[in-house]
């Protein structure tokens, strides 16, 4: 064996021989996490967790992503055959380790706590959201998003429907809408709004309670799926895009409207956002990884005149007529 390969093997064994680093890699292969969240799961001090992350970053096994003041770490799958084989051995070994089950329970708790912030926010404001969201001045954005779906008669999933404003707009166009939201109070407000609406073109609105990361729809159940100003409120926006793609029929359309990356602290404090927007190329990458085609992303400056708001983006793509496996 060449010396360089032997030296690389020694480096692999040294990096992967520590049980804490193994656990960190296993956790980051399942979820993007912050240092504080890793500390909570592992029961270790910040200095110790940060030291292990530095070693794993140097080895190319961990990457990081900054969102405002937050830094999230994720597993970077090895490209080198030796590293890939070494990681495979670690994964199989961890399957039989009792700490893996404990870590999984604590990881679930951490993610639940993360999800609780937007859930509690929306449960608290309920029907008052319509007045609060007026700051977005997004009627034009809603019209642009709808234009990606009509004029075909469609069955549409409105993911994160909130108080049902967009669901009702779609139904007025004669579309059958399934509005989905995780907040019971938001759905109550939406139900009250729907009861006072008339849909002369025959559209209908059905409401279902569920998470955007686990949409309560069957595979291929709808013709189109829309997430309007939703992704910055969810823990795993890339997972939401994959879920939306899953529920689309072959040839179906996915549309997402959200903010472009920004550093406006007032939105986090007043509106309870989880993410400070997204780069257009990041969203395009999520669409591509979900197996979508004909992807386009358009960015627009804010139209609001009385409040400092970030630019917005509209992204859309189609499920192939003959479905291909997500990458």
The per-residue pLDDT for range 142-197, each reduced to its tens digit, is 645 665 665 556 899 999 998 898 898 888 888 899 999 988 888 999 999 898 88
Q: Is 326 contained in some domain?
A: no
Structure pTM? 0.61
Q: Is 175 contained in some domain?
A: yes
Domain count across the chain: 2
CATH number for 153:
3.40.50.150
Q: What range does the domain containing 250 cover?
A: 126-318
Q: Do 199 and 57 belong together in one domain?
A: no
d(CA 300, CA 91): 44
Model confidence pLDDT, tens digit, residues 232-252: 888 889 999 999 999 999 999
Q: Is 61 contained in some domain?
A: yes
CATH number for 83:
1.10.10.10
What three-state secondary structure class fits 37? helix
Q: Is 236 contained in some domain?
A: yes
Q: Do 228 and 279 belong together in one domain?
A: yes
d(CA 118, CA 316): 25
C-alpha pair distances (Å), 71 with each of 21, 66, 153, 159, 275:
18, 4, 43, 27, 11
């Amino acid at each position: 064996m060449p010396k360089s390969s032997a030296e690389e093997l020694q480096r692999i064994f040294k990096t992967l021989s520590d049980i804490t680093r193994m656990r960190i890699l296993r956790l980051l292969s399942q979820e993007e996490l912050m240092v504080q969240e890793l500390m909570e799961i592992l029961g270790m001090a910040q200095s110790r967790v940060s030291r292990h992350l530095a070693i794993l970053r140097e080895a190319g096994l961990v990457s990081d992503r900054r969102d405002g003041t937050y830094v999230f770490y994720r597993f970077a799958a090895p490209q080198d055959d030796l590293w890939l084989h070494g990681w495979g051995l670690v994964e199989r070994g961890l399957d039989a380790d009792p700490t893996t089950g404990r870590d999984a329970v604590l990881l679930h708790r951490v993610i639940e706590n993360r999800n609780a912030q937007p859930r509690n926010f929306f449960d608290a404001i309920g029907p008052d959201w319509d007045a609060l969201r007026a700051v977005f001045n997004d009627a034009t954005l809603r019209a642009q998003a709808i234009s990606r779906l009509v004029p075909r008669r469609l069955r549409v999933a409105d993911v994160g429907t909130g108080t049902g404003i967009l669901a009702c707009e779609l139904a007025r166009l004669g579309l059958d809408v399934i509005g989905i939201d995780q907040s019971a109070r938001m759905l109550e407000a939406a139900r009250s709004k729907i009861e006072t609406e008339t849909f002369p073109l025959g559209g209908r609105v059905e409401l279902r309670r569920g998470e955007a990361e686990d949409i309560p729809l069957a595979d291929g159940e709808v013709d189109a799926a829309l997430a309007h100003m939703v992704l910055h409120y969810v823990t795993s926006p890339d997972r939401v895009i994959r879920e939306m793609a899953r529920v689309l029929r072959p040839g179906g359309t996915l549309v997402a409207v959200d903010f472009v990356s920004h550093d406006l602290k007032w939105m986090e404090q007043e509106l309870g956002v989880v993410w400070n927007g997204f780069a257009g190329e990041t969203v395009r990458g999520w669409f591509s990884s979900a197996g979508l085609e004909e992807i386009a992303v358009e960015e627009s400056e804010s139209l609001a005149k009385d409040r400092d708001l970030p630019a917005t983006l509209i992204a859309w793509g189609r499920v192939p007529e003959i479905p291909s496996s997500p990458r």
